[in-house]
Amino acid sequence: MEQRVIETLKILTESDKEACDLVKVSENEPVRGSGKRLFIESYGCQMNFSDSEIVASVMREAGFTTTSTEQDADLIFLNTCAIRDNAEQKVRNRLQHLNALKKKKPGMLIGVLGCMAERLKAKFLEEEKMVDIVTGPDAYRDLPRLVEEAETGQKGVNVFLSREETYADISPIRLNSNGITAFISIMRGCDNMCSFCVVPYTRGRERSRDPFSIVQEARDLFANGYREVTLLGQNVDSYKWTAPAGAESTLAAPVTFAQLLEKVALVSPDLRVRFSTSHPKDITDEVLYTMKKYDNICKYIHLPAQSGNSRVLQLMNRTYDRPWYLQKIDRIRAILGEDCGISHDMIAGFCTETEAEHQDTLSLMEYARYDYGYMFAYSERPGTPAAKKLVDDVPEAVKKRRLQEIIALQQKLSLERNQRAVGRVHKVLVESTSKRSDDDLQGRNDQNKVVVFPRENFQKGQYVHVLVTECTAATLIGKAVELEAVS
Ligand code: SAH
Ligand code: SF4
Ligand code: F3S
């Protein structure tokens, strides 16, 4: 059944390039069972998109099929993000719009899920009267009950945060899938207390999912034609799974992230393995050597820095300083070579950041020679340590200007890094038709760079060797150099 589902779901809306601003919408499925239809719209990070696939699975058991048209829905879920104020504003605006729809269709129910639901809890129901259900990220198994109650007119809230829930036994229904690349959630929550960040409050304590179900999910995906999995967690390098006491298990010692990575890499040499996010304090040489050992573990690391200045990093409670971060970059280059792709997250204008400290961020970026970056202006989040103890004193205009400088530098670095790729042959996993032309295909190389090339007779899911002949800061452009697929 899982196989059939995967085949019927395709890519849908991607309204924005920046990962944190993507909005994804559920796909149209043939109506079955009770005939009730669910529309899910997801905001925020990949963890949320991944959770929506769990939610679709839970709701299918309760007789709902997904739709891509909100007007057709009996039930609308917004899976929300709380990371910055503008992420929350977007959801508020969306709710206003849905309110108009609800007035025309009084039986329709609206549920708010995810991080903003967890942050605001029952307050949501007071602030946004059209909302019927509020559910936090650890309570999705309870959704069918909450929906049933709401159908009788009773509003429902479950924002219980769990220390154990990993949804390990739930087979996600792949939404917005290209059928080639998929995400596997390997842990939930976060135990780091970065002072700016709302995630520890919205997603609770860190917990790791058992390695057996992770490897099984990777195997199933491979059997269904998928050729790339990305292991997901807020801080994947602190993955640690210990067999429960008394359980019959062949694994006596705890499983580390490096060991998990190896297990997934061994599923098949034709299955690419990626992972995100790495915290600079936790990524070990063992992980770097495991990456080196397996060709199918992609040589690409997302290593958020947040700032290039030690004083600011300390205020952020990142638990590393500038020299530590630089030395991590050196280790990556020493073990995996110059070509290893590295990307970052950076925050401009954190509390009390001076002009000289901002310059440190720019010089750290030059040193790291990042391939890509996700860059943000600091947005104070209520309840976080920074909101309680520090003053958000960098004027908005200064934050924006510093952010622009960071973005401009990244553009330059991305272009330089892409230029290194020109004139070389890259192994590309084909994901889809190119966004610009039906005559071209697009996929990504090992370093996660998008490569576009003429379609010829190649198909998605194939590995193709492409000679890159030109580039922009965002894309490599080339031509296949072998007529046969590599595998
Ligand atoms: N777990 C990941 C990040 C998750 S949030 C990590 O540790 O790196 C994604 C990114 O959003 C963060 O890396 C940070 O750059 C940004 N971010 C988080 N809180 C923010 C805030 N209050 N204002 C601006 N950007 C923020
Ligand atoms: Fe937030 Fe820090 Fe945890 Fe990342 S590691 S989710 S930035 S608290
Ligand atoms: Fe947003 Fe929650 Fe992800 S706050 S970035 S959806 S973990």
C-alpha separations of 133 from 71, 91, 117, 217, 441 in Å: 19, 15, 9, 30, 42
pLDDT digit string, tens, across residues 12-33: 223 333 333 457 888 777 776 6
For the CA of 91, the nearest ligand? 3
Q: Locate the ligand 1 atom nearest the alpha carbon of residue 196 and give its number.
A: 22
Q: From atom 13 of ligand 1, which residue's Cα is the shortest distance away?
A: 345
CATH architecture of 2-158: 3-Layer(aba) Sandwich (3.40)
For the CA of 24, the nearest ligand? 3
Instruction: Tell me if 119 CB under 6 Å of ligand 3.
Output: no
Instruction: Tell me if 202 CB under 6 Å of ligand 3.
Output: yes
pLDDT for residue 250: 63
Task: Count Cα atoms within 13 angstroms, Cβ side, for 127.
Answer: 14
380: phi then psi, degrees, rounded to nearest 5: -70, 135
pLDDT for residue 22: 58
CA angle 475, 481, 484 (to 5 degrees): 115
| Stretches in the chain below the pLDDT threshold 50 | 1-21, 485-487
pLDDT for residue 35: 84
- Measured in angstroms, how far is the CA atom of residue 344 from the centroid of ligand 1? 10
Q: Locate the ligand 2 atom nearest the alpha carbon of residue 200 and give its number.
A: 8
* Beta-sheet strands, E only, within 173-298: 181-185, 187-188, 207-208, 228-232, 240-241, 255-256, 272-276
Q: Locate the ligand 1 atom nearest the alpha carbon of residue 384 and give its number.
A: 22
Instruction: Tell me if 194 CB under 6 Å of ligand 2.
Output: yes
- Measured in angstroms, how far is the CA atom of residue 151 from the centroid of ligand 1? 37
In whole angstroms, give the CA distance from residue 83 to residue 60: 29
pLDDT for residue 33: 64
Per-residue DSSP letters for 152-170? TT--EEE-PPPSS---TT-
Which strands sit side by side in the sheet containing 272-276, from one edge to the other? Answer: 181-185, 228-232, 272-276
426: phi then psi, degrees, rounded to nearest 5: -120, 140
Could you tell me the two tokens for 231?
């292991």
pTM for the structure as a whole: 0.92
Would you tell me the crossing angle of helices 211-223 and 257-265 to the nearest 10 degrees? 30
CB-based contact 441:430 (threshold 8 Å): yes
Instruction: Tell me if 116 CB under 6 Å of ligand 3.
Output: no
Q: Locate the ligand 3 atom nearest the alpha carbon of residue 48 and give its number.
A: 6
Binding site per annotation, positions for [4Fe-4S] cluster: 45, 81, 115, 190, 194, 197
Q: Which of 237, 230, 336, 337 is nearest to 289 (CA)?
A: 336
For the CA of 52, the nearest ligand? 3
In whole angstroms, give the CA distance from residue 19 to residue 112: 21
> In a mutational test of the pocket of ligand 3, which residue from 113, 192, 202, 347 has the highest number of ligand atoms less than 8 Å from its CB?
202
In whole angstroms, give the CA distance from residue 407 to residue 86: 19
Q: Locate the ligand 2 atom nearest the alpha carbon of residue 193 and give its number.
A: 8
Instruction: Tell me if 199 CB under 6 Å of ligand 2.
Output: yes
Please report which residue ranges of 229-296 form alpha helices under DSSP H: 257-265, 285-293
Question: First and final CA of the chain: distance in angstroms?
Answer: 27
Q: Where in the chain is the domain with CATH 3.80.30.20?
A: 181-421
Would you identify the CATH topology of the domain 425-480? OB fold (Dihydrolipoamide Acetyltransferase, E2P) (2.40.50)
Instruction: Please identify which residue in the block is written with the tokens 């573990």.
Output: 297
pLDDT for residue 314: 98
Could you tell me the two tokens for 300?
């690409």
- Measured in angstroms, how far is the CA atom of residue 194 from the centroid of ligand 1? 9
Q: Where in the chain is the domain with CATH 3.40.50.12160?
A: 2-158
- Measured in angstroms, how far is the CA atom of residue 486 from the centroid of ligand 3? 38
* Beta-sheet strands, E only, within 349-439: 372-377, 425-433
- Measured in angstroms, how far is the CA atom of residue 352 from the centroid of ligand 3? 25
Q: Where in the chain is the domain with CATH 2.40.50.140?
A: 425-480
Please report which residue ranges of 62-210 form alpha helices under DSSP H: 85-104, 114-120, 123-127, 143-151, 199-203
Which strands sit side by side in the sheet containing 372-377, from one edge to the other? Answer: 300-302, 341-348, 372-377
Binding site per annotation, positions: 45, 81, 115, 190, 194, 197
Instruction: Please identify which residue in the block is written with the tokens 């329709």.
Output: 108
- Measured in angstroms, how far is the CA atom of residue 319 from the centroid of ligand 2? 11
pLDDT for residue 29: 76
Q: What is the DSSP letter of 71?
A: G
CATH superfamily to which 181-421 belongs = tm_1862 like domain (3.80.30.20)
CB-based contact 59:143 (threshold 8 Å): yes
pLDDT for residue 241: 95
343: phi then psi, degrees, rounded to nearest 5: -125, 170
